[in-house]
């Protein structure tokens, strides 16, 4: 592809997705010693996904906000209402009282490839004059967010510049289709940003629109990957399961007899070797059903029937 052809595709993609990008202004209550309570402003981004007034952004953008204003690309400034949010995936659905919005075309994040060119668009640093565009590639797929309690592991890693204010904005491909929702940059790294795949964001948005919240099955364990050191300590092979670091008191797993130190390796017929696999396997069952959990304790293979409960806010498994 000639350089001029690539340039043309980039400009065309920005023209396609740009009208769907909105800036978001929030106010949060804060308190400072010697000053007392005051409101802290912040800037972020959202992307229109429905002509009827629905936008996607990050949960951390709207969390605790007492005021939310949405500034559309056509110049309208409208108050935003949070329909619902999900701390696990960092997705929130916002609604404005408007019709005939420029809705983004949502792409296929399942088909993303490492090395593919992507564009990050958003209200970087809250600078005036419209959204900022940066270009990079898909650096990796299925990433966790390092140095965080964020439990969703299926993130798209990109080297497209993502700065404060980009949160909630679209990650687009060269056809102008949204393939991710930008969620974070890592302050101690250079050229490393993350986005939530659009297939996951869209699924969460649909459920938030229907229920106003996410109903996610939960068994009440905190787990960690079985590293080489932990595997040697427990006489197991590395990556052979998930080490239970804690069993939540009075949770389904606690009532079923699971203990800290057990190694989970199966949910029903599904083998689990990562937190992502555990969450995906649990999500195949509705809340209220009993699921057989396979685990190892002191070298013995055991199983327990665990009743699935609705997950408390921001819990993992």
Active site residues: 60, 90, 167
Rounded Cα distance between 184 and 190, Å, is 13
CA angle 158, 86, 41 (to 5 degrees): 75
d(CA 227, CA 54): 42
Q: Is 293:307 a contact under the CB 8 Å cutoff?
A: no
What is the four-CA torsion angle of 62, 63, 66, 67, rounded to 10 degrees? Answer: 0
**Cβ atoms of 252 and 308 closer than 8 Å:** yes
SS3 76: coil
What distance in Å separates the CA atoms of residue 293 and residue 298, rounded to the nearest whole number? 16
C-alpha distances in angstroms, 216 versus 213, 220, 288, 292? 10, 12, 11, 17
What DSSP letter does each residue of 271-305 carry, written as one string? E--SHHHHHHHHTTS-TT-EEEEEEEETTEEEEEE
Scanning the structure block, which residue is given the tokens 């990650």? Answer: 171
The closest alpha carbon to 131, from 177, 162, 156, belongs to 162
Residue 178: count other Cβ atoms within 10 Å of its Cβ.
29
E strand or H helix at 180: strand 178-185
Contact by Cβ (8 Å): 177, 107: yes
- The radius of gyration of the chain from alpha carbons, rounded to an integer in Å, stands at 21
Q: With contact defined as beta carbons under 8 Å apart, do 291 and 305 qualify? A: yes
């Amino acid at each position: 592809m000639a350089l001029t052809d690539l340039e043309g595709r980039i400009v065309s993609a920005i023209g396609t997705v740009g009208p769907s990008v909105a800036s978001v202004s929030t106010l949060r209550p804060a308190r400072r010693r010697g000053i007392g309570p005051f409101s802290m402003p912040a800037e972020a981004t959202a992307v229109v996904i429905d002509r009827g007034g629905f936008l996607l952004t990050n949960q951390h953008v709207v969390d605790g906000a007492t005021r939310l204003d949405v500034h559309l690309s056509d110049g309208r400034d409208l108050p935003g209402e949070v329909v619902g949010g999900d701390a696990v995936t960092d997705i929130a659905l916002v609604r404005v009282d408007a019709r005939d919005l420029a809705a983004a075309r949502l792409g296929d994040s399942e088909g993303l490839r490492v090395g593919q060119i992507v564009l990050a668009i958003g209200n970087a640093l809250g600078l005036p004059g419209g959204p900022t565009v940066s270009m990079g590639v898909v650096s990796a797929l299925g990433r966790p967010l390092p140095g965080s309690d964020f439990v969703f592991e299926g993130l798209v890693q990109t080297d497209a510049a993502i700065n404060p204010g980009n949160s909630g904005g679209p990650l687009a491909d060269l056809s102008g289709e949204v393939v991710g929702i930008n969620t974070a940059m890592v302050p101690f790294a250079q050229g490393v940003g993350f986005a939530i795949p659009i297939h996951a964001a869209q699924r969460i948005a649909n459920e938030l629109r229907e229920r106003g919240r996410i109903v996610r099955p939960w068994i009440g364990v905190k787990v960690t990957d079985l590293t080489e050191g932990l595997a040697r300590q427990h006489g197991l092979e590395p990556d052979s399961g998930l080490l239970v670091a804690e069993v939540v008191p009075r949770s389904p797993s606690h009532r079923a007899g699971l203990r800290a130190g057990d190694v989970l390796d199966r949910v029903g017929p599904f083998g689990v070797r990562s937190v992502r696999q555990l969450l995906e396997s649990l999500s195949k069952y509705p809340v209220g059903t009993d699921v057989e959990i396979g685990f190892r304790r002191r070298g013995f293979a055991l199983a327990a029937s665990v009743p699935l409960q609705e997950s408390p806010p921001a819990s993992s498994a």
